[in-house]
Amino acid sequence: MIYFDNSATTKAAPEVVDTYAKVSANYWGNPSSLHKFGEQAFNLLEQSRQQIADLVGAKLSEILFTSGGTEGDNWAIKGTAMAKREFGNHLITTEVEHPAVHNSMEQLKQQGFEVTYLPVDEHGRVSAEDLRAAIKPSTILVSTMAVNNEIGAVQPLDEIAAVMRDFPRIHWHIDAVQGIGKGLADKIFNDRVDFITFSGHKFHAPRGIGFMYKRQGRKIAPLMAGGGQERNLRSGTENLPAIAAMAKALRLLLADESAKVKRQRDIRLAILHHVEKFPNVTIFSKDLPYFAPHILCFAIAGVRGETIVHAFEEHDIFISTTSACSSKKHVESSTLQAMKVDDGIATSAVRISLDEHNTMAEAEKFNQVFDELYTQFAKLN
């Protein structure tokens, strides 16, 4: 079996599953309880928080636990809107964001907020100059992804940071769900960003757990009221087994990161350079420096994306259409639409997404199967 759908979700690492099981069995106290079982749980909670903070170069107080990327995106956006409404009602994002960002913005529009969607170029990237031109005195938030989940485009975070330094009172949120462990830490954790969201199941942690970086001193309103956990910002009894497991997964992910990134990039390029030779293939994730090392998106003209996915599945190779959030809904890629790709080609798009466990042998097998399927599709057309 070849699994090339890691941007949808990753397999939990055995060591991570082991940590989850051990914490579930041995640290079952509530971290808010005063007795020794509660104290043991609280200590492990803060040890996990410190480990994550150390791994990403943040302060202990800047790490907040969430249920994943969707909650983190909603919290950064709506929490900022609630906390800063007296200072303005204008929000800026891009046309290629994940639904967790886009739909949050649309909800806020219904509540009277103004939203500007920045356009993208033919590579799915926004312009820092367009961002600067869009900022108003009423702007309170800019939200941009680090890596596009559909085609792997890396946004110009350095250039965006340069713009944002001229507007220090505006919150800047980065959705880094697809960017963790991909050699982009220096761009994501820059000296200007205020909020960064992550999802554990994208890097071999359990599902239903994530974390958010919140720069010290930045204000954000809580979305859930209750017992005051997470420094009164995110109430609810902490999911300690998943938190400890996520800390373990992050440590494993970042070990030898550069070597893992190089391997993924080499595998991606081996597939890209093979499939791009075929006349009916369109590559959306070009061989350019501003694409992530693990995502490749392409189309075969005249063949719908779901047909391609199922054809590979018959060979025990698992890829996806552009996004797991839209694939079963048969929704066209919002990123390709924003790039003004013709609908006839966009509906043929599929995505390969790698992780550090994929191999060059798997790429070679993929290319072999691709040749067979391409011939079959050509006969059908």
- CB distance 5 to 320 below 8 Å: yes
The count of other CB atoms within 10 Å of the CB of residue 264 is 24
Asked if residue 38 has pLDDT above 90, the reply is no
pLDDT in tens, 143-190: 999 999 999 999 999 999 999 999 999 999 999 999 999 999 999 999
Q: Look at residue 79 in the predicted model and tell me its pLDDT.
A: 98
pLDDT in tens, 257-275: 999 999 999 999 999 999 9
pLDDT in tens, 74-130: 999 999 999 999 999 999 999 999 999 999 999 999 999 999 999 999 999 999 999
Of 201, 90, 193, give the one whose Cα is nearest residue 146. Answer: 193
pTM comes to: 0.95
Average the pLDDT over 272-299 and give the result: 96
- CB distance 141 to 80 below 8 Å: yes
- List domains and CATH numbers for the chain: 2-9+257-380 (3.90.1150.10), 14-254 (3.40.640.10)
Asked if residue 56 has pLDDT above 80, the reply is yes
* Sign of the CA dihedral with 204 first, then 331, 150, and 312 last: positive
Q: Look at residue 327 in the predicted model and tell me its pLDDT.
A: 46
The two three-digit tokens of residue 159, written as one number: 């250039």
The two three-digit tokens of residue 165, written as one number: 């330094």
What is Dmax (Cα atoms) for the chain? 71
- pLDDT over 70, % of the chain: 97
Residue recorded with tokens 């047909």: 307
Collapsed DSSP state (helix, strand, coil) of residue 75: helix
**Catalytic residue check, 325:** yes
Q: pLDDT category, 287, cuts 50, 70, 90? A: confident
**Catalytic residue (one of 325, 331, 345, 369):** 325
